[in-house]
Structure 1
């Protein structure tokens, strides 16, 4: 599976935005350069306990998926201002719920407290999942990094306002917590290796660092933003990347590029990110593995990008956007330099791919699909077909 950072907790608003961006009439951002067809291997059916739907966040290599949905916990009454006066209205009680699909059957991952929020972010091939959960049913309750294993939920001991983001084949967990309860406190990464939480201090001379993945060998790609103030009063951020392993950081640099910026890593240790090669006018995607950089295609003209995940085969999933055009899309960058809009991928059922949420080590895609002219979005596992 790809090691990835899941977006903010699932909400109906997020679904509405996705449906708007990926409407039936939307045109692909770029022409497909990698002709490839897929067949639907299974559907991840939204369970009845999430009437607002559910969104897949990640898949493993044995057909399991994790995701999040809104749980309807009944209704409550509250006073709100309507037309200049207080009015008693009935509103739904909703909390984010985490789930695991085995085949098409979804099981709710146990929260730390009944009816409290829980959000899942990654799953390994043993079906162990990680994320965060609250210990209170309050709307703004603090999160605690957790591990779900064999039907149980475990607080990893990282404290309030902590999140578990990645889990590898060994069951090691990577995440972050905040240095204090202050709203402006920096995020501090940690790794949990079966017994206790180890806080990762930043490299020497760096004020803070964030880590974006965890390989099966325990290597974590990390990055920092350093603010530099020039004598004339102007300022700029310098972006630096590192690989953390066994308690130490190694700078990740490229002799022909400036500001290498890591974004994700896969189970086998493939790292992906962005860099600017000398002479380039646009950032380009790169993959790094076994000590070797491979620069891939540049970002589309006028677009910026955020690397979301990378597969063991080096296929990079990137969210790109243009402030000028006011648009956003997902693109797949391949190791041979091709750039693919997922919406151009063919599906044997005739359905249209709307977006890809994850790619596993077998080349399977967790995708949202829709039949032409239909309003129903299905979340499925796509397996590649032979050319």
Structure 2
């Protein structure tokens, strides 16, 4: 008999996409899946699972997210909004298990409040006693003062929802689950050998190609370099200009995802060998690419590897430095150190494109990523909690 699975994540495609095929597989197996979804996420998520709609403060964020003084209050606001809607949904239709993204504290708290098993999903590097992203890559910049204020606000929230006696404010960051699904192979994880059987590493769930209107241009664009800084730390007009100039010096084509903070006009005049979009159909684009110049988001990096595309990573935050280190350790890409010139980038692209040993490693790793059952492995791990 099918079970009811409730999935909770923050509104960020880098966190949702890696789990979506696994949730779809659970539906194929006869389970009922409900998923928290806000704004523009609801339409795509609603194609495969039932939607629990809510209004997320993250959808209209206007603050600088590199400052933890802004991030911490935003995450608490997100938790409040998500928890209110999830608690209502659970009271009306209790799930058998909660699958909660590592950044969805609301999902974990819901399990504590209603005594429901929680499975944590990790689309970013997992943490244990041997490895901590925050400590090993200094991904937090909070101060004693900001943390004191933040934990005070968290304590008030926990009291409001009746969890003050069982959950400490510090657990807002360090909450643990006995079951964890890491949404990428163990080889990519720093100190992967130290993670015990509470952590199930799976082959990634790669989303299908979009079959987008850009396909005719992409099919003719060879060789092609993809340029993207993700959706958060991407307000770098100079970066895009230098990358496009470096690619064009090689006579290559370039497709750049600028995000919603940089306009094509700001990047400047371009030739017909360049495609500028706020958001690229990324799988379509990667399937035609020879190299990806990226910030090193883990989900976007794995999507490139799954298409056999080497990555040149210009990290913007601590986690992305970790991804760059892992790619260099595995010989699947190189770190792009800023600042760099167009000539330096062109030389590095040529070096990577002509590296036959890297190409062989990429082909082997691509086969590993594509040979697995991806969504099936995810569903197996969830069903083990029933």
Q: For the superposition of Structure 1 and Structure 2, which TM-score range results when normalised by the shorter chain?
A: under 0.3
Structure with greater helix percent: 2
Structure with greater strand percent: 1
